[in-house]
Amino acid sequence: MSVALPADDPTADQLSQEERAAARREVRGLRRRALFLVLPLLIFLIVTFVYPIGAMLSRSVYNPVVSELIPDSAKALSAWDGTGMPDTAAITAFALDLRRLQEERNAGRLAQELNRITPGLSGTVQSTARKLRTIAPEELAADAPATLTGIDPAWSQRPVWATLKEATRVFTDRNFLTALDLERAEDGSISGRTSARIYLKLYAKTMKIGFFITLLTLVLGYPLAYFLTHQPRQRANMLMIFVLLPFWTSLLVRTTAWIALLQTNGVINSLLMGLGLTSSPIEVLYTETATIIAMTHILLPFMVLPLYSVMISLDGSYVRAAMSMGATPFRAFLTVYLPNTVTGISAGAMLVFIISVGYYITPALVGGTDGQMISNLIAFHMQQSNNWGLAAALGSLLLALILVLYWIFDRLFGMDNIKLG
3-class state of residue 340 by DSSP: helix
Which residues have C-beta within 8 Å of that of residue 121, sequence separation ≥ 6?
111, 114, 115, 154, 160, 163
Please tell me the distance from the alpha carbon of residue 261 to that of residue 254, in angstroms, as a whole number: 11
CB–CB of 377/394 below 8 Å? yes
How high is the pLDDT of residue 329?
Answer: 84
Residue 394: the pLDDT is: 93
pTM value? 0.82
In 3D, which of 164, 162, 154, 168 has the Cα closest to residue 188?
162
Residues β-bridged to residue 192: 182
Strand, helix or coil at 384? coil
Q: What is the pLDDT along the chain (421 residues), one digit of tens a residue?
A: 444 445 555 555 555 777 778 888 888 888 888 888 888 888 999 998 889 888 888 999 999 999 999 999 999 998 898 888 999 999 999 999 999 999 999 999 999 999 988 888 999 999 999 999 889 989 888 899 999 999 999 999 998 999 999 999 999 999 999 999 888 877 778 888 777 788 999 999 999 999 999 999 999 999 999 999 988 888 888 888 888 888 888 888 888 889 888 888 888 888 888 888 888 888 888 999 999 999 999 999 999 999 998 888 888 788 888 888 888 888 888 888 888 888 889 889 989 999 999 888 889 899 888 888 999 999 999 888 888 999 999 999 999 999 998 888 878 776 665 555 5
Alpha-helix runs per DSSP H in 65-173: 65-69, 71-77, 88-103, 107-117, 121-132, 137-142, 144-151, 158-167
- 398 Cα distance to chain centroid: 5
Sequence ranges of the chain with CATH classification 1.10.3720.10:
199-417
Q: What's domain 199-417's architecture?
A: Orthogonal Bundle (1.10)
- Specify the DSSP class assigned to residue 256: H
